[in-house]
Amino acid sequence: MLEIKVKLQEGVHQEFEFIEGKSNWIDLRTAERIKMNKGDFKLIPLGFALELPEGFEAHILPRSSTFKNYGIIQTNSMGIIDNAYSGNDDYWFFPAYALRDTIIEKGDRICQFRIVRQMEVVKVLFVNELQKQNRGGHGSTGVK
DSSP code at position 65: T
Q: Report the 10 Å Cβ neighbour count for 31.
A: 23
By the 8 A CB rule, do 52 and 87 touch?
no
- According to DSSP, the residues that pair with 56 across neighbouring strands are 117
CA distance 129 to 1: 43
Q: Is 108 a catalytic residue?
A: no
By the 8 A CB rule, do 64 and 112 touch?
no
Q: Report the 10 Å Cβ neighbour count for 44.
A: 23
- Active-site entry in 27, 40, 82, 90: 82
Residues 6+ apart with CB under 8 A from 90: 49
Residues with active-site annotation: 82
